[in-house]
Amino acid sequence: MEFRTEHDSMGDVQVPAKAYYGAQTQRAVENFPISGWPLLPELIRALGVVKYAAAVANRDLGKLEKTGKNPLNPKQIEALLAAAKEVAAGKFDQEFPIDVFQTGSGTSSNMNANEVISNRAIEMLGGDRFSEKKPIHPNDHVNMGQSTNDMFPTAIHVAVGMSIRNDMIPALGRLHKSLADKARQWDRVMKIGRTHLADATPLRLGQEFGGFARQIELSIERAERAVAAVCELAAGGTAVGTGINTHPEFGRRVAAEIAKETGIPFVEAANHFEANAQRDGLVECSGQLRAIASTLFNVANNIRWLGSGPRCGFFEVQLPDRQPGSSIMPGKVNPVMCESMMQAMAWVMGNDQTVALSGAAGGQFQLNIMMPVMGHAVLQSIRLMASSARAFVDFCVLEMEANEVACEASVEKSLSMVTSLNPLIGYDKAAALAKEAFKTGKTIRSLCREQQVVSDADLEKALDPWRMTEPQG
């Protein structure tokens, strides 16, 4: 690889010749050969949005045209805005090579964004982006009125809010609709209920899937609350929350511009000392994501159980065959989409533990120093839940079929059918009948007829499975 020499306050640095980033980014690349995981694209693009909003605010406040000895003219300002827009559009994702496990404030990645935007803006005006003299400077102009300490958490909040609103909520919406459709289709399919994995009273397969659909509906509400938890933005607090070196209106204007760009109601933080120092909103957001992950794990696991078989399990729902299930047992097919969802959700729950620990122990005084890993964990969780939900719909739920024969075959055999006789013969007598039925292998219905426990008319009414699936006065 060919290199060029860049210079910063610490001296010379060899930077890849064609890179848009500069010395500070390269130092971080060399300092943090940790995981090989760069920032997720969602966060890189949010940095672009935030830098654009900051430039708009500084332009409208007249700050960029009064930058000490190096003011910008209108064309330079427009180039700065355009370059930030390109980062926000994902055109320079490959120019952000710094590892997630870096400086805890995210300074390295903030400077990465400043350098890329600066050099791209210079290039757009026909200048030499490799020149040591920067007419559009990464610190003086791109980072004007900002500190990593307020802008990097702002970018995390923006990335998280956008990812939940634009990716995860639509995916959950599709999952909810597909489960609700199955609930309607299967409303006439009678089956036995199960509590403690033991036989219980009858219900309809549609009712069971209606319960799953409601779980996802509640998850969407939790996702909306997760967005609300990150709507306050730290921009405007600069280094420690005092707003040193920025305009008093900067934070409000940046938040308003970001809200305009994203369609999400971001606002300036009510208290910049809290917003700079703590990541409690992100912890709250992650907690909501954990609850959603718990739901998705549960729904996938229940469907896995319902599809168990095909001959020695429940097999009340026929799951689509996606791939051979065994390297040794010919013809075996496994519930792979359920298993994929469950593994991904286990990972999400682990991410939440990372976020919770980072929020509790990583913030001292005026700064949390665990921000890159917190942002990565939350954004990764959102991505996993969105992609898992889409795959689960496309490759499992849409192709599921009800096994009506298996569902209905178990109803009459259930000992819990005796429950509906409680009002007629009392709990103790009903319990004795259940035990005798189990011992003899007879059904509740046949045993009641043999012993003439109640009249045939009362027996037929009481043991009507359909009536058992609705409240009776």
Predicted confidence at residue 315, as pLDDT, reads 97
| pTM listed for this prediction | 0.96
Alpha-carbon gap, residue 119 to 128, rounded angstroms: 8
Average pLDDT on 99-113 reads 98
Q: Phi then psi for 3, rounded to 5 degrees?
A: -130, 160
Catalytic site residue from 35, 131, 326, 455? 326
Which of the listed residues 111, 144, 177 is the one where a domain comes to its end? 144
Could you tell me if 20 and 63 lie in one domain?
yes
Q: Is pLDDT of 1 > 90?
A: no
2-18 average pLDDT score: 94
Q: Percent of the chain having pLDDT more than 90?
A: 96
In-domain check, residue 473: no
Count of structural domains, the chain: 3
Interacting residues of 170 by C-beta distance below 8 A, sequence separation 6+: 386
Residues 157 and 23 in one domain: no
Q: What is the pLDDT of residue 8?
A: 87
Q: Catalytic: 326?
A: yes
**196 given a catalytic annotation:** yes
Radius of gyration of the chain from its Cα atoms, rounded to whole angstroms = 30
Please indicate, yes or no, whether residues 139 and 154 belong to a single structural domain of this protein.
no
Question: Over 80: is that where the pLDDT of 124 sits?
Answer: yes
pLDDT digits (tens, 9 = 90+) for 150-182: 999 999 999 999 999 999 999 999 999 999 999
* Residue 177 maps to a domain: yes
Does 425 share its domain with 383?
no
Of 92, 121, 144, which one is at a domain's C-terminal end?
Answer: 144
Of 42, 24, 53, 67, the closest CA to residue 236 belongs to 53
Are residues 397 and 256 part of one domain? yes
Question: Is 401 contained in some domain?
Answer: yes
Same domain membership, residue 165 and residue 19: no
Per residue in 38-60, pLDDT (tens digit) is: 999 999 999 999 999 999 999 99
pLDDT of residue 32 exceeding 80: yes
State pLDDT tens for residues 182-207: 999 999 999 999 999 999 999 999 99
Q: How confident is the model at residue 424 (pLDDT cuts 50, 70, 90)?
A: very high
Neighbours of 223 (CB within 10 A): 25
Mean pLDDT of the chain: 96
Q: CA-to-CA distance for 188 and 295, rounded, in angstroms?
A: 26
Average pLDDT over residues 389-394: 98
Tokens encoding 126 = 């026909």
Statement to judge: residues 116 and 159 lie in one domain: no
Range of the domain at 21: 3-144
CATH number at residue 422: 1.10.40.30
CA-closest candidate to residue 234, choices 162, 163, 152, 164: 152
Do residues 133 and 154 both lie within one domain?
no
Contacts of 262 (CB under 8 A, 6+ apart): 49, 158, 161, 162, 165
Say yes or no: 250 and 341 in one domain.
Answer: yes
* pLDDT the model gives residue 68: 75
pLDDT at 286 over 90: yes
- The region of weakest confidence among 6-10, 225-229, 315-319, 444-448 is 6-10
DSSP letters spanning 329-368: STT-B--HHHHHHHHHHHHHHHHHHHHHHHHHHSEETTEE
Tally of CB atoms within 10 A around 308:
14
The pLDDT of residue 472 is 84
Q: What angle do CA 59, 62, 65 make, to 5 degrees?
A: 85
Residues 290, 375: one domain?
A: yes
Same domain, 32 and 178: no
Percent of the chain predicted with pLDDT > 70: 100
From 386, 405, 424, give the residue that closes a domain.
405
pLDDT of residue 381 exceeding 90: yes
3-state DSSP percent of the chain in helix, strand and coil, to 5? 60, 10, 30
163 and 383 Cβ atoms separated by less than 8 Å: yes
Q: Does residue 274 sit in the same domain as residue 374? A: yes
Predicted pLDDT of residue 66? 85
